[in-house]
Chain A
């Protein structure tokens, strides 16, 4: 009899060239993985380490020899002997334009990563003039747990994937409408407490622009008292059920201000439930709960 101690995994390596440098990565890796392995920093927006790539934002595109168009590095799997350029004029142009397009229609004021990349590539959203159409959405405050500010939404699908197939399987929200009118919404754009939402906050955790924001953070920002530089993060284990979820407690002034979970831990892969995500308030004796 055979004793299989572990799931069988066979790893075949694939070699490709990135910016002239030979890189070897396991079969099934993406070009983005190869870039990371080669020490090349790549901007991403819609990519998430635990999400199936939707390759919608196109900011991660690279030039692939033999391909008419640029290809999204986050989703394109490596094939032997691919030749990839990540810093050609074409690549820089597309990255700049994607960031510029987003900046021209979306409030990126709290999207620090994107702003850094915009600066890096010289994106200038003002080129489209003051009358350029924007998302133009009011903040939705519908409960005490998190807010939705779709003025800041880049329609990256991450929240939809996290709420759907990739983690939570609740499907409370979907991409709706079409074209520039597309929006993330519940059915008939109803309020969240009337929807299927179970307040796991997994969508909030993956949002790259702070369009989805924990209410604690929103309130502190409103009070001009959100100070990331004064915050620290402690990893511990959730105090509720026995699954053993890792929690990252973000604290400011000795109070918990938000809870996340590590993306790379095999128990949660960054996801939590309502108790782990929001059930910490008793620590501070805030029993304004019902």
Chain B
């Protein structure tokens, strides 16, 4: 969003906002403690909309749930934008002063009338209108999203469509309003902060920005490639073309977590060299030529993590690592040494100071301050800077300080890549359970009384048509493959939509089914929309 990739708002703000639009996010399960803040907001009188194909446990807290067609998010956002314009509810002063490209945007959404949007989304026109008016007239309003927005082939479009709404209404750059992507995994935000993105240096400085890159080159005495690298999905494509022959995987489990998993595994197996550094013997590690056992990064080592509100906090070791396991840093440094570079033996604080030196937004976050404050929110450019509770306050300054006004980004609605066919007539979407996490390598460690296991949730009418009852086994197939799954009847689903979690790859390889369509702009795969067929397995009925 207009530069640095982080949520604009602090958790505290949602407690004080007037309108909450939770869009494609089941934060009640995926971000339970963030949801506590959201609940305070509701208790303080905020109105809440949930926009999600499923009436999730989060949506059940909403005043209004809008169950849009899977993948029709851009259509809905454009329809809301058009209605705000048509109803004369645009924040004119803000648009004139702080944005650019309004006219193009207006033109681009012109065709998204309430009726047309209703056709695309499956939502009643009045409901779309109501949300548009509530959002535009609220004093403060936040739009929040998670993977329901980003795990689509047009993920970046989805995000931009929402950003447009914030610009239209001025719901950004002030306390209580904002655009909040909730980070799905611990320190995804921190990874981005540190430049673990193909096109970014630490501190969200662009690789192709000569001045920024120059700082790093000067510091390290090397030339850096000015071309952005490949993101994950492109890497797999490059493997397919034979351009990538070796991979070094740190703490990831792509052999279980990638969409269209059978294909991904084949590509990993086909590499000349696969090195995996992990704390678990994951499925990916099983495919590896070399496994480097790391210690538990967490609980056994020191460092920092950055949260969804851009708060950098200290991670501390509580117990010594087991057996021969080693810290990630030590392994990397040893490797460097073998390659002829002695990086010495810096401790985590020294590494952190190195980052502060190079990343202006982290400059003010000394180790000592992080200890004292319980975490600081970037940007925090100097030691006397308190950190930034929310971003883009400059949009509300009389003088934009030489910055370009924030751009509208017209986007076009496209449905999911994978069309429903007679052969694969049901939609499949995926999500998280409360007590489990990703592919379950960590959360499998304890006995959760509420763990259900991966099942295929479906609407009673679909189940009836297929002759399936709750608890039955069924063969679930997509154009990519088939798995056996248990059926769970869920009347809160819309007919034609099915759902599963993806926490138990050892039991159910749900990602065998998911789509390999991916977003060219961000590199995320379309986990959220595949097409499937379900057939009863008679034997299992017993």
Contacts and interface: CB of A to CB of B under 8 A. Distances in A.
Do most interface residues of chain B lie in helix, strand or loop, or is the interface mixed?
loop
A243 B34 contact: yes
Q: Classify chain B's interface size.
A: 35 or more
Contacts of A143: 447, 449
B287 to A, nearest CB: 21
A243 B307 contact: yes
A240 B450 contact: no
Given A7-B16, A145-B449, A241 B185 contact: yes
Contact of B185 (A2, A242, A269): A242
A281 B445 contact: yes
Interface residues of A, number: 65
B309 A274 contact: no
B318 A256 contact: yes
B447 A243 contact: no
A256 B299 contact: yes
A267 B11 contact: yes
Contacts of B245: none
Contacts of B436: 275
Nearest to A272: B33
A73 B27 CA distance: 37
Contacts of B30: 241
A224 interface: no
Contacts of A279: 437, 442-443, 445-446
Interface of A: 1-7, 142-145, 165, 167-169, 192-193, 197-200, 232, 234-246, 249, 251, 254-256, 262, 265-269, 271-276, 278-290
B184 A244 contact: no
22 contacts: A1-B396, A4-B175, A6-B389, A142-B449, A145-B446, A200-B32, A234-B317, A236-B316, A236-B317, A237-B186, A239-B299, A242-B183, A243-B307, A244-B306, A244-B311, A271-B36, A281-B446, A283-B299, A283-B319, A289-B444, A290-B444, A290-B447
A237 B315 contact: yes
B326 interface: no
Nearest to B15: A7
Contacts of A240: 185-186, 437, 442-443
Contact of A193 (B11, B175, B389, B450): B450
Contact of A254 (B183, B184, B319, B398): B319
A254 B320 contact: yes
Given A165-B43, A242-B307, A267-B11, 20 more contacts: A1-B398, A7-B175, A7-B176, A143-B449, A169-B36, A199-B450, A237-B305, A237-B314, A237-B315, A239-B299, A241-B32, A241-B184, A254-B320, A256-B299, A262-B374, A271-B33, A274-B450, A282-B445, A283-B319, A289-B444
A199 B32 CA distance: 12
Contact of A243 (B299, B308, B448): B308
B29 to A, nearest CB: 9
B41 to A, nearest CB: 12
Given A241-B186, A244-B308, A3 B316 contact: no
B305 A241 contact: no
Contacts of A243: 11, 31-34, 182-183, 307-308
A245 B375 CA distance: 11
B188 A242 contact: yes
Contacts of B280: 282
Given A241-B31, A242-B188, A243-B34, A145 B447 contact: yes
Nearest to A240: B437
B447 A288 contact: yes
A53 B36 CA distance: 19
A232 B30 CA distance: 30
A171 B150 CA distance: 32
